[in-house]
Amino acid sequence: MIKYNFNEIIALLLSLLILNNLLLIGLNFSDLFLKINLILFFIVLLGFYFFKPFENWYLKIFFILIILISLGTPTYEWDPRSIWLFHAKRIFFDSSIFSVSDNYASFSHNAYPNLVPAFASSLATFVGHWNEIFPKTAFTFMFLPPLIVSYVFFKNVKYLIFISLVLFIIGKYLFTGWADGLVAIYFSLSALLAYLLLINETNSYRNEKILYFIAFTFFTSLTLIKNEGFALLSILFLSILIMTIYKKNFKKNLKKILYLSFAFLPIILWKMFCYYNGIGNDYVNLSFVSNILPRIFDFENYLLISYYLLLNEKFLFSLAFFAVIFWINWNKELFIFVFVNAILYLLVLFLVFLSTPLDFHFQLDSTAARVIKTLSFLLSFFGLYNLNSGKDKIVI
């Protein structure tokens, strides 16, 4: 019997119920089914708290405090108020995720994925009315599956350090209704699961079928949280391809890779729906070439992007943390895997900023500190994990 199997099951069930909520709304099921799905979610959550009350108590206390903070803070920032909760409000009143086909209020990015807004909408459906604060807790609840499954890989003091890193790097994004913190944590856990299941061959995790299911739900959730999730999962699969070809075990893992690649299907279907219905933003110029050509040969643009991204204090801390731990405990395979993902993500960020149709300085000032959180958390997360690398799971 695996000692941490309980946490794996809880994380999988919670993740499946969150995804199922979007499916139920997408298939136009009645509110009764949404409420039943949400009741099951809270039953599983209560099981996590009371079935083994003294296990993982760091997270149990931490999460209650974060929920209380979320309930006690208003939604006033642009993205949470005018994009994510606005989408949730539309889903609640229209009882559909497809009503955006009219492209009403195009400023709210109607083509964005709707996993979290749909979950927030169902919280309002559960209580019977819309509220400007309560549905925001859906963003906090979404953190639970990756936070719970992390207990499989860290325990005791290391898990307390992990929670501290979450609080330090993700910070207010745990409870204010932003989606960037979710992207950071889901990507880091997805990357770790990909590494353990498809690349590293010396651990016992790759023999646990439940982790493949968890990986699939995390991959799918990552793409449905925010547009960046699709790019990040593409980067992850590219790094998997590079590493498996380098290690000459690509054919051996081909079936697993193909199975996990189906995680792209929901977001592809959503983007096809948006494309065929002409859903987009009126102020976005889709001419990539005309946007990037005036900037790509100006070296000062690269310096400016580097200043906003790489001189971020949390990124510098994470980079130092990662470097020191890998200097103490060198792990070549893990280092290359993280390095490939980090470099590919930085290249994407540079490309995105150079091609933005918006004012260059405005785009950097408003988004750089948010998007770099993903890379910051990735580095600190794998730095902490490397303290455990080479140690197998405890079996009793």
Residue whose entry in the numeric block shows the structure tokens 């974060």: 66
- Read off the pLDDT of each residue in 41-68 and give the average, rounded to a whole number: 93
Separation between Cα atoms, residue 323 and residue 219, nearest integer Å: 27
pLDDT digit string, tens, across residues 29-39: 999 999 999 99
Q: Report the percentage of the chain scoring pLDDT > 90.
A: 72
Show me where the domains of the chain are located. Answer: 5-277
pLDDT of residue 359: 81
pLDDT of residue 1: 35
* 179/357: higher pLDDT: 179
pLDDT of 193 > 60? The answer is yes
pLDDT of residue 288: 64
pLDDT of 351 > 80? The answer is yes
β-strand partners of 2 = 395
C-alpha triplet 164, 170, 173: angle, nearest 5°: 130
pLDDT of residue 345: 97
Separation between Cα atoms, residue 327 and residue 274, nearest integer Å: 47
- Read off the pLDDT of each residue in 223-238 and give the average, rounded to a whole number: 96
pLDDT band at 189 (very low <50, low <70, confident <90, very high): very high
The answer to whether residues 206 and 161 touch, using CB atoms and an 8 Å cutoff, is no
pLDDT of residue 174: 95
pLDDT digit string, tens, across residues 84-142: 999 999 999 999 999 888 888 888 889 999 999 999 999 999 999 998 889 999 999 99
pLDDT of residue 337: 96
pLDDT of residue 290: 72
pLDDT band at 393 (very low <50, low <70, confident <90, very high): very low
pLDDT digit string, tens, across residues 301-349: 899 999 999 999 999 999 999 999 999 999 999 999 999 999 999 999 9
Nearest to 372 by CA among 322, 323, 305, 312: 312
pLDDT band at 389 (very low <50, low <70, confident <90, very high): low
pLDDT of residue 286: 54
Is 0.85 topped by the overall pTM? yes
Give the burial class of 156: count Cβ atoms within 10 A of its Cβ; 0-12 exposed, 13-18 middle, 19 or more buried. exposed
Give the burial class of 272: count Cβ atoms within 10 A of its Cβ; 0-12 exposed, 13-18 middle, 19 or more buried. exposed
- Average pLDDT over the chain, rounded to an integer: 91
Lowest average pLDDT, out of 8-17, 267-276, 279-288, 352-361, goes to: 279-288
Separation between Cα atoms, residue 305 and residue 294, nearest integer Å: 15
Which residues, 6 or more positions from 341, have their beta carbon under 8 angstroms from its beta carbon?
191, 235, 236, 239, 378
- Read off the pLDDT of each residue in 59-73 and give the average, rounded to a whole number: 94
299 alpha-carbon distance from chain centroid:
32
Q: What is the dihedral of CA 224, 225, 227, 228, to 10 degrees?
A: -120
